[in-house]
């Protein structure tokens, strides 16, 4: 129950007068690459392309399709 509350209210520190023990890892997130405005504009002008063909569904073949459907039927 407390885990559900913490999941919904991640910044909560005290609940009903009790301190909630949390493990906190201080992470500073900074960009690894600093782009100049000229480099950003150059990247924006390039067309975007995926490194592989985009398919309509994630099922590659009939065998994969039937396996997935069987799994879903048992899971749900």
Span 7-18, pLDDT tens digits:
788 788 888 888
Write the pLDDT tens digit of every residue in 20-64: 877 667 777 776 778 889 988 888 888 777 777 776 666 677 888
Label residue 54 exposed, middle or buried (CB < 10 Å: 0-12, 13-18, 19+).
Answer: exposed
> What pLDDT, on a 0 to 100 scale, did the predictor assign at position 5?
79
Distance, CA of 17 to chain centre: 34
Cα separation values, 62 from 9, 36, 57, Å:
44, 49, 12
């Amino acid at each position: 129950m407390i885990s559900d509350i913490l999941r919904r209210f991640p910044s909560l520190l005290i609940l009903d007068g009790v301190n909630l023990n949390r493990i906190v890892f201080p992470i500073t997130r900074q960009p690894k690459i600093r782009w100049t405005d000229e480099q950003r504009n150059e990247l924006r002008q390039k067309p975007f392309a995926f490194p592989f063909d985009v398919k309509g569904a994630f099922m590659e073949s009939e065998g994969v399709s039937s396996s997935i459907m069987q799994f879903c039927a048992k899971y749900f």
